[in-house]
Amino acid sequence: MDLLEPVTQPYAWGSHTAIAELQGRPAPTAGPEAELWMGAHPSAPSGVDRPAGRTTLDQLIGADPAAELGPECAARFGGRLPFLLKVLAAEQALSIQVHPSRAQAEAGYRADNERGLGPGDKSRNYVDDWPKPEILCALTPFEVLAGMRTTADAAALLRGLGVAGLEPLAAGLAATADPAALTAALAAILTWPAGDRGALVSAVVTGCQQVAARPGEYAAACAAIARVAGDHPGDLGVVAALLLRYAVLQPGEAVFMPAGGLHAYLRGTGIELLANSDNVVRAGLTSKHVDVPELLKLLDPAAPVPVIEPRPAGAGMCVYDSPAPEFTLYQAELGPGEVTLPAAGGARIVLCTRGAAVLRADSGPRKVARGESCFLSASDGPVRAAGPASLFIAGSGACVPRSDGD
């Protein structure tokens, strides 16, 4: 069992308080802290201190993948830890984006290489050949745009804004229940004539402010979109956001994002668990590379984006079920009595978000305090834990035998 030194990502949309407070550091911080990475992603692997010296988690796993990951997991995922655990702390909206499936990622990565794009080229869509399904579990109320509205719902919202330029799109959406109409509407918005974009965004913001000012079905969504417009003035992503479903995740609720699911995280603090990839294709609300044709190719307008309630798994444990083979997210509320953590036999990362826990394996004990994280290798075997503490546990979704207690 190894304590991890996570990597903080200072993206501009991040919070000045949330991650520092979790780790017990002074807040507010001078600059934004958007994500806390715990894992073996090659661009920002967590540090590990061993008696022989400091190393990183990707190097540790690379030296003996079978022992660290378990033989089955090492074979299935090419000796790579298949998941990345994050704390995500957003004060401003992230980009509107989709993630590829494994087949799409492999084809896109190969195509970018064949175009001669270097690893750091900002015009790349695919930085690796992995998919990037993800699950976001709220620690605080978390605003999200997740999945696309039905055609009828999107048409009603567009018409409710009173923006004449959107009426042809609303009429097209109202005339059919085919999700393909949502893709067509999104394409029309994202390719709006350049000279008319400023006027369209301005009219949409005014309409959203008016809808938000009176009680109604779309008041909360329009208020959120108006706030997003303040963070990204003039961005067509503000208009595209109208086609997405708005939700506020309450603490403990989660949303699973499959390949092709259009989404944007707006504001809040949460735990994010994802496949160990950084493949993102963006449509707006960002200064980074945007590739509308590629995004439309990946988009699945009917992709289900469910809000997930945790399923009890016994002994103070619960699990967030998802179809992703790369990961499973567990949560544990520990009292003073010892319980066995789930997913023994595979690699796990444990993050403490409240109190402090003592973890015990055959190799000895390890204390994990609030804001700290620990890597449990497959060779650590069953690990027992006692609190009082709240833990999130990330494990592989495909390489660990399951039982009713997992």
DSSP characters for 161-180? TT-GGGHHHHHHHHT---TH
Answer for the pair 145, 94: CB distance below 8 angstroms, yes or no.
Answer: no
Closest CA to 288 of 297, 279, 300: 279
Is residue 311 part of the annotated active site? The answer reads no
Residue with tokens 């999700």, as numbered in its chain? 179
- Cα-Cα-Cα-Cα dihedral sign, residues 42, 308, 177, 223: negative
Closest CA to 278 of 288, 270, 266: 288
Give the pairing type, strands 373-376 and 263-275. Answer: unpaired
Catalytic option among 282, 348, 354, 366 = 282
Q: What is the pLDDT of residue 406?
A: 36
Would you give the DSSP letter of residue 259?
T
Q: What is the pLDDT of residue 400?
A: 54
Rounded Cα gap, residues 225 and 1, in angstroms: 44
- C-alpha to C-alpha distances, 380 to 11, 330, 363, 366, nearest whole angstrom: 35, 18, 7, 12
Residue with tokens 């409240």, as numbered in its chain? 354
Report the chain (406 residues): mean pLDDT per 10 consecutive residues. 97 97 96 98 94 92 96 94 98 96 96 92 92 97 97 98 97 98 98 96 98 97 97 96 97 96 98 95 92 96 91 92 94 96 91 98 94 96 96 84 40
Rounded Cα gap, residues 165 and 7, in angstroms: 45
- The pTM of this model reads 0.94
Quote the tokens at residue 81: 């830890």
Q: What is the pLDDT of residue 405?
A: 37
Whether residue 342 has a cis bond before it, omega within 30° of 0: no
